């Protein structure tokens, strides 16, 4: 069951261990596999994709592209409740992301020069949607919508086939809602390679986004520079700060909601309540009975679960900021006030009526968030992920005369003769 600590120093050490849980000895071996996959796809294109799909997924594919008719059929056959949920999620996520569109900057300098910054979408984006034995229609929406709001002209989706060789119908239904018709039934590092290098079937793109397993993450890391990426996502994590007003049953449910993702998922409780320290483990045990993902969830709670009894909410906030969690829940009497104190978190969920699951599916903000402590310097997937900005500089004669001496002085001190000359010759002409 979950480890319990009441020593803040020991808690800091344990949080560091949890943050580093993905730095395993198997990474080097996985990287070697990824390198060989990238090289093979770059050299042999579709043939390599089909070979790896058969080897890793156990599926023989004649055609990599999913027929658009299959996407339409998946939508038409989807249960009405799922269709309604997908459409509601699409509306809410779209409305939030439209507010993210960055504004161009246009300034007039003191000497009449014009300065600016112009935003434009990338030409193409590749969306990786995990699949195989699980279905993540929410990932389709969370990746496709910001790309479309940004104005990306070509959006390509890749997702691994299931054991039957087909893409999960819920994923296809989400793709229908999002208006994606260029879908390829391929996953893993080979899919990332295809998006980066291009093959006979799959076009190369400018940006690759979407979560995946270790092999997908290492592949994205390897092709970064040739293409842009959103982030290097690790296993999911939640940190709950709770005071005595919180329900042990709800705290347990929220911890398990992260633990059921993956055996490496982390579920952490920082609380000022001795009662919760007693009741939450009991509630977890009760909710694990007959849990459909019990084996995965128990492994996560056992290996990466943690409870810390804190002296104050201030101490809890300090520990949270040290960890910089992907998801932070504030189950306290005054969550808004505590949220102001928090400096480092991917997303903050405030109050007893805001489970992290709301953010996963349809609240509006993106659910692709920084993990493993990277919330110290990174944020959620956004519209800007699919955009690039260009600086605009337009000097007139007056501006160059007013600043030229300073430019030449700086160039001289850097030992760059022609930099200086490019200004001097203009001023003398």
Is residue 355 within 8 A of residue 247, CB to CB? The reply is no
Q: Is 266 helix (H, G, I), strand (E, B) or coil?
A: strand
Residue 326 annotated as catalytic: yes
State the catalytic residue, choosing from 326, 329, 356, 367.
326
Element (H, E) at 48: helix 46-57
Is residue 65 within 8 A of residue 116, CB to CB? The reply is no
Helix boundaries (H) for 58-111: 68-77, 80-98
Q: Which residues pair with 327 in a beta bridge?
A: 238, 347
| Terminal-to-terminal C-alpha distance of the chain | 79
Which of these, 371, 364, 160, lies nearest to 261 by C-alpha position? 371
Q: Is 157 helix (H, G, I), strand (E, B) or coil?
A: strand
Is residue 351 within 8 A of residue 240, CB to CB? The reply is no
Which of these, 178, 247, 169, lies nearest to 210 by C-alpha position? 178
**114, two tokens:** 């014009």
**340, two tokens:** 């102001």
State the catalytic residue, choosing from 90, 176, 327, 367.
327
Q: How far apart (Å, rounded) are the C-alpha atoms in residues 230 and 379?
A: 10
**382, two tokens:** 């956004």
**179, two tokens:** 């208006």
- Residues 6 or more apart in contact with residue 377 via CB below 8 angstroms: 370
Is residue 155 within 8 A of residue 144, CB to CB? The reply is yes
Residue 340 annotated as catalytic: no
Q: How far apart (Å, rounded) are the C-alpha atoms in residues 142 and 294?
A: 27
Q: How far apart (Å, rounded) are the C-alpha atoms in residues 342 and 339?
A: 5
Q: Which strands, in side-by-side order, build the sheet including 154-158?
A: 183-184, 154-158, 124-128, 207-209, 228-229
Q: Residue 157, class by beta-carbon neighbours within 10 Å (0-12 exposed, 13-18 middle, 19+ buried)?
A: buried
Task: Phi first, then psi: give them for residue 261, nearest 5 degrees.
Answer: -65, -45
Question: Catalytic amino acids?
Answer: 326-327
């Amino acid at each position: 069951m979950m480890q319990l600590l009441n020593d803040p120093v020991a808690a800091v050490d344990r949080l560091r261990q949890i943050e580093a849980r993905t730095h395993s000895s198997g990474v080097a071996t996985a990287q070697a596999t990824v390198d060989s996959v990238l090289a093979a796809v770059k050299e042999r294109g579709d043939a390599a994709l089909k070979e790896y799909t058969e080897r890793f997924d156990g599926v023989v594919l004649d055609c990599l592209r999913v027929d658009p008719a299959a996407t339409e059929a998946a939508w038409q056959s989807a249960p009405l409740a799922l269709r309604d949920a997908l459409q509601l999620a699409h509306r809410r996520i779209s409305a939030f992301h439209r507010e993210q569109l960055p504004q161009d900057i246009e300034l007039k300098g003191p000497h009449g020069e014009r300065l600016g910054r112009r935003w434009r979408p990338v030409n193409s984006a590749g969306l990786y949607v995990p699949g195989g034995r699980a279905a993540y229609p929410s990932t389709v929406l969370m990746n496709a919508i910001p790309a479309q709001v940004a104005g990306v002209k070509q959006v390509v989706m890749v997702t691994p086939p299931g054991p039957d060789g087909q893409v999960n119908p819920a994923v296809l239904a989400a793709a229908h809602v999002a208006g994606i018709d260029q879908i390829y039934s391929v996953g893993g590092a080979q899919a990332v390679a295809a998006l980066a290098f291009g093959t006979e079937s799959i076009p190369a793109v400018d940006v690759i986004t979407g979560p995946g397993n270790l092999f997908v993450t290492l592949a994205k890391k390897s092709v970064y520079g040739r293409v842009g990426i959103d982030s290097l996502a690790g296993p999911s994590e939640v940190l709950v700060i709770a005071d005595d007003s919180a329900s042990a049953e709800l705290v347990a449910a929220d911890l398990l909601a992260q633990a059921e993702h993956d055996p490496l998922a982390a579920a952490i409780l920082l609380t000022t309540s001795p009662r919760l320290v007693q009741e939450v483990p009991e509630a977890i045990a009760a909710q694990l009975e007959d849990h459909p993902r019990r084996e995965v969830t128990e492994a996560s709670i056992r290996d990466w679960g943690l409870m810390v009894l804190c002296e104050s909410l201030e101490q809890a906030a300090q520990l949270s900021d040290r960890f910089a969690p992907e998801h932070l829940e504030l189950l306290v009497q005054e969550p808004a006030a505590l949220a102001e104190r928090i400096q480092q978190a991917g997303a903050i969920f405030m109050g007893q009526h805001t489970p992290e699951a709301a953010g996963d599916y349809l609240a509006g903000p993106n659910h692709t968030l920084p993990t493993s402590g990277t919330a110290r310097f990174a944020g959620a997937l956004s519209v800007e992920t699919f955009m690039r900005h260009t600086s605009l500089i337009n000097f007139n004669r007056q501006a160059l005369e007013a600043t030229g001496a300073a430019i030449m002085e700086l160039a001289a001190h850097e030992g760059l003769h022609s930099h200086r000359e490019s200004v001097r010759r203009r001023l003398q002409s």
